[in-house]
């Protein structure tokens, strides 16, 4: 059995991006560790509560971890940077302004503590260009270099070609994967550069439940408002890049 460490930017990224892989890994007996880099404080506030956004999101993250069978959840508590161009970008304590080597050292310490076999982060542009997601990619690489035992590295991504197949430009139905995302690049990765297509169909409703745990977030609320059948179709595959693994295969990577 392996120890898998998932490195994510904000509470709710674990659910939408790798929730199925986490749930399946747990069911198969692997140890699942989730490191959440930021406090999610730039997320949406919803409902009447005395809690801060960060407190709400921490509570929601714990609930999601419970649903996904996560063995250990670690909060690094960096400040959420918000999207590109937000005022929050200028805060020197925002995660995007952190030193990747310094955060990499913190993550490497956890990798050593866990004697981790695999570290899962994001592709080079963080899937859709969010500055905190781009930082996760840098931290992932730094941590892998610094760990006593270098883990296998997988980069969570989206399959741009698969998304394009579901896009109808005539009627603007679906989602145009070639439009510029937060950093000006299109979302995800061309299929030719992807290593693993993981079918998480059997746990896709757990993934939905994990997303539902983040109900304070408008993005998550929109996704769980999708009819169940449609949600299952949209979220039953998770994609990963791994150096040296090509062409893409539909298989369980661990
Ligand atoms: Zn995020």
How is residue 231 written in tokens?
């949600």
Neighbours of 227 (CB within 10 A): 8
Q: Secondary structure of 86-141 in the HEC alphabet?
A: CHHHHCCCEHHHCCHHHHHHHHHHHHHHHCCCEEEEECCCCCCCCHHHHHHHHHHH
For the chain, state the CA radius of gyration: 17
Contacts of 212 (CB under 8 A, 6+ apart): 220, 224
Burial degree of 107 (CB within 10 A; 0-12, 13-18, 19+): buried
* The pLDDT of residue 225: 94
pLDDT digits (tens, 9 = 90+) for 55-66: 999 999 999 999
Q: Ligand 1 mean position to 170 CA, how many Å?
A: 30
User: What is the overall mean pLDDT for the chain?
Assistant: 95
Closest CA to 106 of 132, 80, 76: 76
- Please tell me the distance from the alpha carbon of residue 52 to that of residue 77, in angstroms, as a whole number: 14
Q: Ligand 1 mean position to 147 CA, how many Å?
A: 25
Q: Ligand 1 mean position to 9 CA, how many Å?
A: 5
pLDDT digits (tens, 9 = 90+) for 124-133: 999 999 999 9
Pair 118, 254: CB distance under 8 Å: yes
User: Domains plus CATH for the chain?
Assistant: 3-250 (3.40.50.10320)
Q: Ligand 1 mean position to 229 CA, how many Å?
A: 25
Chain-centroid distance, C-alpha 165: 23
Q: Ligand 1 mean position to 86 CA, how many Å?
A: 15
* The pLDDT of residue 107: 98
The pTM of the full predicted model, rounded to 2 decimals, is: 0.96
* pLDDT greater than 90 at residue 176: no
Q: Ligand 1 mean position to 82 CA, how many Å?
A: 9
Only one residue has tokens 């709710």, namely 12
* The pLDDT of residue 49: 82
């Amino acid at each position: 059995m392996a120890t898998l460490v998932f490195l994510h930017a904000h509470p709710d990224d674990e659910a939408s991006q790798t929730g199925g892989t986490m749930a399946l890994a747990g069911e198969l007996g692997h140890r699942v560790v989730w490191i959440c880099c930021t406090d999610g404080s730039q997320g949406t506030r919803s409902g009447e509560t005395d809690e801060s956004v960060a407190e709400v999101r921490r509570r929601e993250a714990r609930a999601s971890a419970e649903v996904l069978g996560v063995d250990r959840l670690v909060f690094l508590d960096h400040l959420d940077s918000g999207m590109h161009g937000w005022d929050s970008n200028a805060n020197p304590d925002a995660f995007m302004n952190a030193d990747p080597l310094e955060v990499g050292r913190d993550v490497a310490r956890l990798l050593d503590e866990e004697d981790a076999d695999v570290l899962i982060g994001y592709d080079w542009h963080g899937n859709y260009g969010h500055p905190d997601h781009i930082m996760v990619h840098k931290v992932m690489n730094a941590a892998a270099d610094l760990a006593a035992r270098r883990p296998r590295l997988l980069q969570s991504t989206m399959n741009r070609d698969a998304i394009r197949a579901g896009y109808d430009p005539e009627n603007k139905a679906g989602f145009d994967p070639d439009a510029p995302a937060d950093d000006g690049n299109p979302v995800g990765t061309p299929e030719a550069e992807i290593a693993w297509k993981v079918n998480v169909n059997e746990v896709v409703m757990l993934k939905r439940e994990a997303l539902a745990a983040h109900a304070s977030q408008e993005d998550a609320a929109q996704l769980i408002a999708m009819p169940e059948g449609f949600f299952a179709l949209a979220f039953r595959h998770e994609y990963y890049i791994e150096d040296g693994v090509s062409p893409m295969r539909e298989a369980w990577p661990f």
